[in-house]
Amino acid sequence: MAAHSMTGDYAKLEQVYIQQVIDISEAIGFSYIVWQEVIDNGVKAKDDTVVEVWINNHPEVEMAKVTALGYRTILAAPWYLEELTVGEDWKKYYMYEPSNFNGTATQKALLIGGEACLWGEYVDATNISPRLWPRASAVAERLWSQETVNDVDAATPRLHQHRC
């Protein structure tokens, strides 16, 4: 880092490293998916890059920014399943509409999917099932359903069945 005048600037170090990985990928004809901070840190990515918006700090703002740059996106930020609350917390996952960000129809068409995430260090054989179900089912239904399919009461019997 010192040799490249980056001492203490870890964002710059990441930018240089990721840029090298992207350049290698492009040279051998590979496409790639990057996390949002790669774009946020100014890495020059190909137009066909897919950006995963995963940091849950106003993901709707990040979605608008990334799609305004013309990148296809995958949304994960609102669907980290290790964040437990009491009660039927699957409802918050079900109610999050991924296309609910300020953007044009062209930008919204760049949203190509989503991902339910679960950090492995928080689960083991004793708690994986209750962490996943019905929460992952709620995310799945949200992602494959039209925006207008959002009735929690109608979804409850289906998602309770998944839980069982």
Q: Where are the domains of the chain?
A: 31-163
Tokens of 130: 């209750």
Give the torsion sign (CA, 122, 137, 93, 101): positive
Tell me what pLDDT residue 92 has. 92
Residue 84 has pLDDT above 80, yes or no: no
Q: CB count, 10 Å around CB of 92? A: 15
97 falls in which pLDDT band (50, 70, 90)? very high
Tokens of 51: 């950006």
Tell me what pLDDT residue 161 has. 85
Tell me what pLDDT residue 26 has. 87
Level-2 CATH architecture, domain 31-163: Alpha-Beta Barrel (3.20)
Tell me what pLDDT residue 122 has. 79
Tell me the per-residue pLDDT of 111-163, one tens digit each, with 9 for 90 and over: 999 999 998 887 899 988 888 888 999 999 999 999 999 999 999 998 888 77
47-79 CB burial, b ≥16 within 10 A, e <16: eebbbbbbeeeebbebbbbbbeeebbbbbbbbb
Tell me what pLDDT residue 9 has. 82
* Residue 117, beta-bridge partner list: 80
Tell me what pLDDT residue 131 has. 85
Tokens of 87: 């009660």
Tell me the per-residue pLDDT of 6-50, one tens digit each, with 9 for 90 and over: 888 888 888 888 889 989 998 998 888 999 999 998 888 888 899
Q: What's the CA gap between 78 and 60, in Å, rounded? A: 10
Tokens of 156: 């409850």
Tokens of 114: 């989503």
Tokens of 159: 């998602």
